[in-house]
Chain A
Amino acid sequence: MAGAPTLPSRVRARPITPRRLMDLAAAAVLSCLAFVGLFPYLYMLETAVKSDSQFNSNEATPTWPLRFGNFATAWREVAPYLLSSIVVAACAMFGCILLGSVSGFVLARYRFPGRNLFFGLIALLLLVPNMASLIPLFVLMRDLGLLNSYPDLIIPQLTTQTVFSVVLMKTYIEHLPEELFDAAQIDGASPARTYWSITLPLARPIIGTVALFSVISVWSDYFWPELTIVTNSLRTVPVGVQFFQGELTTSYGPLFAGYLIASLPLLILFVALARNFLAGIEGGLAADR
């Protein structure tokens, strides 16, 4: 907000220029769009601090006093789902970063027979929608005896995220300056060392992107955990919040407090890594060319 104090003096110096008018008009329209887009979340926040009787007498506007106790009630319900989601996201994230960076490094930096074929086979999986594999994957997991377990939650996430990770990392590493790798080779660095000491530190921005995408993916995946998990403590957030809804059918306050708590990890990560998120999309656009 360092720019705020300069605003009034400018207004006095130059009353209304066409540019300023355009700014104001654009900001006004954008504010309306932002308000409509954010309304459900503001509503969620407002409802989360209401008691049942407050909600029943007035469902639309805020009421006092604010009932923060709803968050304690909700926490007890949501905590197991959060834990499960974090375990799944952490494993999938670590795995896809490892597999993606190693494969991306090799595919971007070495010439060998089959290089384009292997990359093509991996990238082709981008075109296969998860939902089309749902049925046969379910039967595969069933045959392996993995249904209703952590591996059952982690493996499909790891598979999907590794595809993204390899494609993004390969593109990113390809665009790193060639001289760094030439210099390393002249200095006699082994491939492993080139990977660990040069590629990984330089690839940090894209690693952040991949990490964020894998968490978003766990917080979005609905059908797989819904259809394969029956143990309550294994449920991830997307299916957990629905069960939690069943527990508190008519208590909207704790229900919405629970939605907020369940969203919190993703929200925090998103704020912290928004830059990576945007960079990742730009990288994706570059890869598309």
Chain B
Amino acid sequence: MSGRRRIPWGVYLALVPALGLLGFFGYYPDISGLVHSLTNWEPGFSSPFVGLANYRAMWHDSLWWESFVHLGIIFVVAVTAMWVIPLAAAELLITLSRPRWRLFFRYLLIVPLAFSPVIQVLTWQLIYDPNVGVLNGFLGQLGLEALEKNWLGDPNTALWALILINFPWIAGLPFLIFSIGLQNIPGEIFDAAAIDGAGRWKRFLAIDLPLLLRQVKLLFFLSVVFVLQYGFAPYIATQGGPDNATTVPVLRIVGVAFDAGEWGYAAALSTTLLVIMMLMSGLTLLAGRRRAPGGAR
């Protein structure tokens, strides 16, 4: 084939705009960040080379590592509860025998996706408000005044209050991926299982779960992306406080760059975040590849 065809030179011309844009605004900043992480970066002035000093400073930055502990807690919730509840909802959805009901509930469950995440956080902020918030109001109505708290202002509850924003976390990619996955399982498989006398729970364990496991690689990757970039909710609702209880790496980076003006150090932290991200993604992809040949497709 290729011997007969000449190289279509026009294709390179067609790719130039996209490659140019992504090269200059996609690749260049990351490389620039990597290079300048080895300097005392003063945007607009000369930036003296300082070797690994920024990375050594990072090693002793207790706030930076504390922020990863918070991220770890968020990540554990993101790959357990934030998958289990959407999975349960997706299972319930295909349990419904009428397609019309399925469609109705699916739309109802994903409506929150249509609201800006910032507006979601601002709304929850008011729900958590210690004085006029409905959460404390509700507890008061039940006679549980003792449980009333300044949810976002108390170091013991602030991180959990942030995590619980958008509970029950159904309006998101995990739910959509699970429900599309379940929908794409051919009906004959379910019929065969029913004839063999497999109940609903047994079918879930024997058919649904193994078939959905194929999506777990993708979901894990998406969770890594989501968690490592997590930051705007604490930035808006708690500014990383109280007492640094909700600091996450992104907040630390923004603080180091924009408040302290230490651009070289911020570049070192950014590059570290990027490397962690690439490592996690690489491992996810490799782990998936080893399992793939045994898969159904």
A residues with CB within 8 A of B? 3, 19, 22-23, 26-27, 29-31, 33-34, 36-38, 40-41, 43-44, 55-56, 59-60, 99-100, 102-103, 105-107, 110-114, 118, 121-122, 125, 127-140, 142-143, 155-156, 158-159, 162-163, 166, 191, 216, 219-220, 222-223, 226-227, 237-239, 241-242, 245, 252, 256, 259, 262-263, 266-267, 270-271, 274, 278, 281-282, 285, 288-289
A281 x B119 contact (CB < 8 A): no
Q: Does B49 contact A (CB under 8 A)?
A: no
B30 x A238 contact (CB < 8 A): no
Which 8 A-B pairs rank lowest in CB-CB distance, beginning with the nearest?
A136-B33, A270-B114, A136-B29, A132-B274, A238-B118, A222-B232, A103-B18, A137-B29
Report B-chain residues with C-beta under 8 Å of the C-beta of A60.
134, 137-138
Chain B: interface residue total (CB-CB under 8 A): 99
Complex formed: what's the CA distance from A125 to B277 in Å? 12
List 26 A-B pairs, Cβ < 8 Å: A22-B200, A29-B92, A33-B89, A33-B168, A43-B134, A59-B132, A60-B134, A99-B21, A107-B15, A112-B8, A121-B27, A129-B277, A135-B253, A136-B30, A137-B29, A222-B236, A223-B231, A237-B118, A238-B116, A252-B126, A263-B116, A263-B119, A266-B115, A270-B114, A281-B177, A289-B297
Complex formed: what's the CA distance from A44 to B121 in Å? 12
Report B-chain residues with C-beta under 8 Å of the C-beta of A55.
132
Q: Does B176 contact A (CB under 8 A)?
A: yes
B254 x A223 contact (CB < 8 A): yes
Report A-chain residues with C-beta under 8 Å of the C-beta of B228.
129, 131-132
A27 x B123 contact (CB < 8 A): no
Report B-chain residues with C-beta under 8 Å of the C-beta of A239.
118
Stretch at the interface among B76-84, B93-101, B142-150, B152-160: B93-101
Q: Knowing A140-B28, A220-B117, A267-B115 touch, does A162 contact B22 (C-beta < 8 A)?
A: yes
How many A-B pairs have beta carbons closer than 8 Å: the answer is 263
Complex formed: what's the CA distance from A77 to B110 in Å? 28
What is the distance, in angstroms, from B226's C-beta to the closest C-beta of chain A? 9
Q: Knowing A220-B116, A241-B122, A263-B116 touch, does A37 contact B109 (C-beta < 8 A)?
A: yes
Which of the residues B17, B118, B278, B281 comes within 8 Å of A242, measured between beta carbons? B118
Complex formed: what's the CA distance from A271 to B188 in Å? 32
Complex formed: what's the CA distance from A30 to B138 in Å? 23
**Cβ-closest chain B residue relative to A282:** B180
**Cβ-closest chain B residue relative to A35:** B108
Given A128-B277, A132-B274, A133-B270, 15 extra CB contacts under 8 A: A26-B93, A27-B96, A40-B124, A43-B127, A99-B18, A106-B15, A118-B15, A125-B26, A132-B228, A139-B36, A139-B43, A227-B258, A237-B116, A238-B116, A266-B114
